Amino acid sequence: MPDLKSIYGMKYTVLSESQLEIIEIQNQFCSAVISLQGAQILKFQSKTNQTKEDLLWLSELNQYKPGKAIRGGIPLCFPWFGGHKIDSTYPAHGFARYLPWQLIDAIYSESTGHELVFQLKDTAHTRSLWNHSFQIQIKIRCQKNLTLHFEVVNTGDASFEYEFAWHSYFPTDIASAKIKGLRHTEYIDQLQDMQCFTQAEEYIEIKQEIDRIYLKTQGIFEISSLQKPLIYVESDASGAVVWNPWIDKTQRLADVDDHAWQKFLCLECGQLKGASVKLAPHQSKIYKLMISH
């Protein structure tokens, strides 16, 4: 790990109650909190936007236990999304979000803010779940906007296929929330026996539990509500998921307050079911996600 004490605006902390490693960022553009577990950004707040609102939602009931997925922020789902296709005992959404990553680079510039690079490579544990040689990196830019670059590298001698998603949690007032950017897009409704539909409406409004996989999007979205500032999301990944657990499912989620479903929704960009990517030996692929008010 780089010597963070020598880099302006960076602080390394170990949470005493859980031993989870955290990096705090402060610069003229934003403040942010990143967990080394999952290379997961937990909090981001712009200092240049008049709203001063958090860009991400984070559950108040997280216990921050090593090896347990953190609810909120932007967890990374890799190398599969949802449940495993063959073995249901394997962890949902893969292993990347609950493993510790290595911080391999961190820089600060007065003109652009902070940039951090995290890396995860295959181990005996990952090979027991997904028997491939790989290297993945996440570059997080904490500037006026929040920008993530995700790179997948096939370091082995055989091709492999993967799925991934940025499982982004956004704060909203669910009663008035609207999502724009998915009109005329086909989706799989995971609450209606995986049937396929095409969205006719310009805006998605959340009136009940929703869990849809949009197969091919334009990658540009807006999240609006009466009580929260507009959030812009842009990605070059092909798919997106819209999810809110509503009342009943929230009560089954131990790390989410019973009333929290009213305060967030997930818009998850990635390469999802039906859009997995095949990567040849020694090849790589990079994806971008940018979020702003």
- Which residues are tagged catalytic? 167, 268
Question: Which two structure tokens, joined as six digits, stand for 76?
Answer: 């990374």
The residue among 5, 3, 58, 55 whose CA lies nearest residue 30 is 55
* One-character DSSP codes across the chain: ---GGGSTTEEEEE-TTT--EEEEEE-SSEEEEEETBTTEEEEEEESSSTT--BSS-B-TT----TTS--SBSBPEEBS-SSS-SS-TTSPTTBSTTTSBPEEEEEEEETTTEEEEEEEEE--HHHHHHS---EEEEEEEEESSSEEEEEEEEE-SSS-EEE-EEE--EEE--TTT-EEES-TT-EEEETTTTTEEEE--SSEEE-SS-EEEEESS--SEEEEE-SSS--EEEEE-SSEEEEEE-HHHHHHT-TTS-TTGGGSEEEEEEEE-TT--EEE-TT-EEEEEEEEE-
